[in-house]
Amino acid sequence: MKDDFFRERNIHYTKLLRQKLNALPYFCREFFVGIETQTSPLTRINYANDLKIFFDYLINNVPAFKNKYIDEIELSDLEKVTSTDIEMFLSYLSHYDIDAKSYSNNERGKARKLSTLKTLFKFFYNKDKLSQNVASKVASPKLHEKEIIRLNSDEIVELLDVLENAKLNSEHQSAYVRNNTKKRDLAIISLLLGTGIRVSECVGLNIDDIDFNNNAFTVTRKGGNRSTLYFSDEIKAVLIDYMEERKEKNINEKALFLSLRDKRISVRAVEYLVKKYAKIISPLKKITPHKLRSTYGTNLYKATKDIYVVAEVLGHKDVNTTKKHYAAISEDIKKEASTKVKLRN
């Protein structure tokens, strides 16, 4: 199957979720079954992690739950939770310890955990198994807009130059890259920069997903949908160069991008190689594959001035997500547009 990578990943997440459910109250199983068709396996794992922290907090900090074990908490016990308890939980998340390890959450981490609780309470309230949705009474933390980190045009040129010439921090590193990974690394980063695909979409590509006749390729998006995207002749050239090198090795592996062990490259490995090269040309910016995606989205928006095209290409289900990320550029475009209409010729 073309989507073996994603199918196997989902199977792994499903097994992991089952393990995590063993550390949660029994009624949570009904909740996770109920939200299965609306959420991804990874989202459900994040929910399970959030709920474990919440129930641990209740047992250790809320009098109504004292002397209970997590597996002893019944659905009816959620009736004892007050909005104040949840507000205190959000405050607790600023800094807390679990198993001698310290953790902290910023406003976004708190907002996500509150969203998990709201989903849980709403689910059982809608099923008439709770008399009220107490979590809905708690205001979400105010989120401050994060600066979008991206590469400028000069940095893109510098990054590609580093890749093409294998100019790393030492001659030993440079020689190693030239002999082993140069063409692969250039193809990966060029594809990320030139199409805006997610790192998981890049890693999941197979050889037969690429159509060089039409400069097109098929990716598996979040949720499993398949989409056809297009690449430039510049990207086509580096992909073909990499593919020819692969053919010489006579490797029987359908994954497009391979590790040094000739297996499908991992997400972590791609994250590492992006960081390795980007640090050379921009040491103060923490460049990740997602930042390359933001770079592409910015350039595409500036070129097309069409937020709907950007949303479609990036695979955003909601155009408001795209608008939020590129609001600053929208202002620049609106200012530029104001000069286009002349009152007098």
- pLDDT (0 to 100) of residue 312: 87
Task: For the chain, give every domain's residue range.
Answer: 4-137, 153-338
What type of residue sits at position 311? A
Spatial distance between the Cα atoms of 161 and 166, rounded to a whole number of angstroms: 8
CB–CB of 94/105 below 8 Å?
yes
Higher-confidence residue: 141 or 332? 141
Question: Does the structure show a pLDDT above 90 at 338?
Answer: no
Grade residue 2 by pLDDT with cuts at 50, 70 and 90: very low
- Return the DSSP state at 287: -
Neighbours of 216 (CB within 10 A): 13
The pLDDT mean for the chain works out to 89
Average pLDDT over residues 187-212: 94
Is residue 269 exposed (0-12), middle (13-18) or buried (19+ Cβ within 10 Å)?
Answer: middle
Question: Does the structure show a pLDDT above 90 at 143?
Answer: no
Question: Does the structure show a pLDDT above 50 at 299?
Answer: yes
- pLDDT (0 to 100) of residue 1: 45
- Return the DSSP state at 255: B
Q: In sequence order, what are the residues at sequence separation of 6 or more whose Cβ sits closer than 8 angstroms to the Cβ of residue 121?
A: 78, 130, 133, 134, 135, 136
Q: In sequence order, what are the residues at sequence separation of 6 or more whose Cβ sits closer than 8 angstroms to the Cβ of residue 110?
A: 90, 93, 94, 141
- The pTM for the full model equals 0.78
- pLDDT (0 to 100) of residue 173: 82
- pLDDT (0 to 100) of residue 310: 86
Spatial distance between the Cα atoms of 291 and 294, rounded to a whole number of angstroms: 5
Q: Which DSSP helix (H) or strand (E) runs through 227? A: strand 226-230
Average pLDDT over residues 171-185: 88
Name the range with the highest mean pLDDT among 23-32, 241-250, 286-295.
Answer: 23-32
Task: Specify the residue for token string 């547009």.
Answer: 337
- pLDDT (0 to 100) of residue 199: 94
Best CATH choice for the domain 153-338 from the list 3.40.640.10, 3.30.559.10, 1.10.443.10, 3.40.50.720 = 1.10.443.10
**73-122 pLDDT, tens per residue?**
999 999 999 999 999 999 999 999 888 889 999 999 999 999 999 999 99
Kindly give the residue spans of alpha helices, DSSP state H, lying in the chain. Answer: 4-21, 28-34, 41-61, 83-92, 107-126, 153-165, 171-180, 182-195, 199-203, 233-249, 267-281, 289-304, 307-314, 319-325, 327-338
Q: What is the 3-state secondary structure (H, E, C) of 55-117?
A: HHHHHHHCHHHCCCCHHHCCHHHHHHCCHHHHHHHHHHCCCEEECCEEECCCHHHHHHHHHHH
Question: Does the structure show a pLDDT above 70 at 183?
Answer: yes
Question: Does the structure show a pLDDT above 70 at 198?
Answer: yes
- pLDDT (0 to 100) of residue 344: 63
Question: Does the structure show a pLDDT above 60 at 271?
Answer: yes
Average pLDDT over residues 133-142: 93
Grade residue 8 by pLDDT with cuts at 50, 70 and 90: confident
